[in-house]
Chain A
Amino acid sequence: MSSEFSQSEWLSTLTAAPATEVKTLANTVLPQLAAQGELDVVHNRTGLVMLPYRDTVQGTTFHLGEALVAQGQVQQGDFTGYGVVLGRDLEQALAVALLDLALQQDVAKERIFAFMRDAQAEQRQVTDLLLRKVESTRVQMETF
């Protein structure tokens, strides 16, 4: 595992990156990954994730509802690649799982990390812009 990005970071970043770009990246990494040995697709399916939520009144955990997701899980030797994305895009989920598998084995690490630097910067920029617009709506309370 590399130190620049943790597995948590790369999974979260790749999941939020544009689907088309993630699929293209996975396609370019696939030949190198395939050269590592037999590659099995364990799961590539849609399904539901239940979202538990905390009530602030009594601290009760309850189910807010479910989210539709696409899940990809691949296996190569002892390594398990995994990806889950919101929605129904099975190829996107599989692409994330393949990139996860590659990164765990240091395959095409620099290429994927270069992609991730750009993706993460863009995601941060989008969130930052949103929060700067939100800040403009802050109420300056006057106390009389």
Chain B
Amino acid sequence: MAYVAARGGENAIIESEQLFHDLNGPLTAEKVRVIMETVPYLLDRVMGEASLYAPELAALAIAQSGGELYEAALLLRAYRTTQPRLEYAAVTEQGEMLTVRRISAAFKDIPGGQVLGPTLDYSHRVLNLGVLTGEGAVRHEATPAPEAAQPTYPALADWQRKVGLLPEVTPDTRTGHSVPDLTREPLLFPPARAHELQGLARADTGGLLTLGYSIMRGYGLIHPTVNEVRLGYAEVNLTHPATGVAFSAGRVRVSQAEIVTEFAGDSKTPELALGFCATLGWNEVKVIAGGTLDMNMQKAADHGEKHPAHTPEFVLYHTETVEASGFCIHFKLPHYVTFQSALDAMRQVRGNPQGVNLPGSEVPA
């Protein structure tokens, strides 16, 4: 691809940036604080796609970009590249996460039960217009139960394995730097499962939804059922460098989904099969769509299917937030040389339909 250097636009560029910020109002610490305190799910989405848990900086990125989420994710990813990796936390197990929401659409009675947690799933989708006139400003206060919910819940998949509904698995013993890492290694196909799950975790929410929805509606190998959706807080468990003592450096918001289908195993012993997706922050649409894609990609690997949304190469390449949005907006950059070249070729063909590059066929631009 060829570009041409455009000269004479320096002042226009400077002023365009000024105008952007001018129209968005001043960027202040107060604005960042308000964003941080009022739109946690927006922060979660940006942090998940940036693959960096940093609520204060996510709020700054949103404020600085005027709420343009692809710019915000890019700002966070760019900041991330300036920081050294200091440590690897201990592996978070599902059963250790402080859980505030856990539901299953497949089983009513699951070990530990179901808690709806914080959700708008069952609310009326009606704008509270009274807020705008000062009449509807209500502070919602949840009612605490006399007893606390249990902080952690076992993995539903563990129970399903115990009762023979799922095949046994051997847990991965890799930790820390031995776990495959997309930020340090190229994505090769077929991908390592660790790469695939990391790719889904940092993927664009809209991209996963689009591809996930395509297979939910008409192009899927399975009908997805939510085995479990879980929102919670994962401890960032580190180790003291001198004493080796483990401790928590804090908690991060995490969401995850398991998607289940009954079409696995063989004709003699049918089994359930699961798809999985997890991400930083609370983002249910992303993990349900991602888990559905994971399920289809696993099935497709067994059946040799080649629908784009069943193919890891298609899914992972085209839902990479920064690469996809960056490639899309790069088309705004001057393409004068390539476009002019195409125009020249078009004129040559028009001027000499018998063939181009023949003596006398050159047409002045």
The finding on whether chains A and B are genuine partners in a shared complex, rather than unrelated, reads: yes
Instruction: Give A contacts to B, CB under 8 Å.
Output: 6-8, 11-12, 15-16, 45-69, 71, 73, 79-80, 82, 84-88, 100, 104, 127-139, 141, 143
Q: Which residues of B contact A131 (CB under 8 A)?
A: 100, 148-151
Closest to B177 in A: A50
Partner of A133, one of B83, B88, B89, B143: B143
Given contacts A47-B83, A67-B252, A136-B143, 9 further A-B contacts (CB under 8 A): A50-B88, A53-B197, A56-B258, A59-B170, A79-B242, A82-B242, A134-B148, A135-B148, A143-B108
Stretch at the interface among B3-11, B24-32, B273-281, B349-357: B273-281
A52 touches B91 (CB 8 A): yes
Contact A86 B149 (CB under 8 A): no
At the interface with chain A, which of B51-59, B126-134, B206-214, B314-322?
B51-59
User: Is the Cβ of B245 less than 8 Å from the Cβ of A51?
Assistant: no
Docked-complex contact A16 and B250, CB < 8 angstroms: yes
The stretch from B63-71, B233-241, B323-331, B337-345 touching chain A is B233-241
Contacts of B135 in A (CB 8 A): none
Q: Give the docked Cα–Cα distance between A101 and B146 (Å).
A: 40
> Contact at A84–B146, with CB atoms within 8 Å?
no
List B contacts of A133 (CB < 8 A): 142-145
In this complex, how many residues of chain B approach chain A with their Cβ under 8 Å: the count is 91
Indicate if the CB atoms of B172 and A82 lie closer than 8 Å: no
Which residues does B use to contact A, with CB under 8 Å?
47-48, 51-57, 80, 83-94, 98, 100-101, 103, 108-109, 113-118, 142-151, 155-158, 169-172, 174-176, 179-183, 193-195, 197-198, 201-202, 234, 236, 238, 240-243, 245-250, 252, 254, 258, 274-276, 278-280, 294, 298
Known: A134-B117, A135-B145. A60 touches B86 (CB 8 A): no
Q: Contacts of B90 on A, CB cut-off 8 Å? A: 52
Contact A46 B83 (CB under 8 A): yes
Q: How many angstroms from the CA of A63 to the CA of B193 in the assembled complex?
A: 11
Q: A82-B242, A84-B238 are in contact. Are A132 and B144 (CB under 8 A)?
A: yes
- B82 CB, min distance to chain A CBs, angstroms: 9
Closest chain A CB from B195 CB (angstroms):
8
- Taking the nearest CB of chain B, how far is it from the CB of A137, in angstroms? 4
Q: Report the bound CA distance from A68 to B195 in whole Å.
A: 21
